[in-house]
A and B are shown apart, each in its own frame.
Chain A
Amino acid sequence: MSHIEPVRKRIIVNTSQERAFRIFTTGIDRWWPREHHIGKSPLLRAVLQERAGGRWYSVCEDGSECDVGKVLSWEPPRRLLLAWQITGDWQYDPSFVTEVEVTFTAQGPNQTQVELEHRDLERYGDKAPAFRKSVDSAGGWPKIIEEFATVAGAPDAVA
């Protein structure tokens, strides 16, 4: 499989480096998007365990837990390396790993540059086709497709 460009993002957050790191990790439940949840029951809480090797998962209202991945490197307040282990079939697979590296760079006492790189995306080639979910299943690709179609219909999606 040929190389696929990583997804790279950079944003400026008006807060300290320590707080940015803390909200991203300990506070993940405060910002983790609810609508992309992969479990069968509504998402109750997102969790990132604060240590290398820690789990990254969500807890559903029915008490079940859905893994997203794990913490590969824990370097507060500067750097975080995560394993995103959701396949194209929208399932957690412990043998599937793509890396998400997040760095926090202080630009002032109350300004932090946050850079995120989601890489190894060519590994989705090994898991292709990524569209096996039946159309009537809850969540998964059909839901993502539906959401995406809505977004794609927005004027800013015109390339």
Chain B
Amino acid sequence: MTNASLGFAALGDATRLQIFERLARKPSSVGKLADRMAVTRPAVSQHLKVLKSAGLVLVSQEGTRRIYRVDQRGVELMRKFLDRFWDQALAAFKEAAEEREA
């Protein structure tokens, strides 16, 4: 499975989507995310791990803290979506164009 398709699956979970949206607004540490959400720290860590392996967030070390942020290459997700969208649309177009004239 590609990173982009993993990305879409990773956002299918409500809590993960919420974490992702928070990071999209502002980079944050695990602790800060957990403080502001009704989710335990280990659970946040687990969600971040999924988001990270899906290529949606990046982590960097700032002093003693690990800061998570949305990977701006998430633009690639949009590209991936459009790529599939046009595959589907053009297949339907071909079918319509090859139908015999009524």
With an 8 A cutoff between CB atoms, is A152 at the interface? yes
A148 and B81 within 8 A (CB): yes
Chain A residues engaging chain B, CB cutoff 8 angstroms: 1, 4-5, 7, 9, 11, 13-15, 19-20, 23-24, 27, 30-33, 36, 88, 114, 116, 118, 121-122, 124-125, 128-132, 135, 141-142, 144-146, 148-149, 151-153, 157-159
Residue of B nearest to A146 (CB): B12
Distance between A138 CB and nearest chain B CB, rounded to angstroms: 15
With an 8 A cutoff between CB atoms, is B58 at the interface? no
Distance between A1 CB and nearest chain B CB, rounded to angstroms: 7
Distance between A18 CB and nearest chain B CB, rounded to angstroms: 11
With an 8 A cutoff between CB atoms, is B60 at the interface? no
- Cβ–Cβ < 8 Å partners of A7 in chain B: 79, 82-83, 86
The number of A-B residue pairs with CB atoms under 8 Å apart is: 123
B72 and A149 within 8 A (CB): no
A31 and B75 within 8 A (CB): no
- Cβ–Cβ < 8 Å partners of A116 in chain B: 86, 90
Residue B78 contacts which of A19, A31, A88, A146 (CB distance < 8 angstroms)?
A: A88
B82 and A118 within 8 A (CB): yes
Measured in the bound complex, the distance between the Cα atoms of B60 and A27 in whole Å is 51
Identify the 3 closest CB pairs spanning chains A and B, nearest first.
A129-B24, A152-B5, A148-B8
- Cβ–Cβ < 8 Å partners of A13 in chain B: 93-94, 97-98
Measured in the bound complex, the distance between the Cα atoms of B18 and A131 in whole Å is 10
Residue of A nearest to B14 (CB): A135
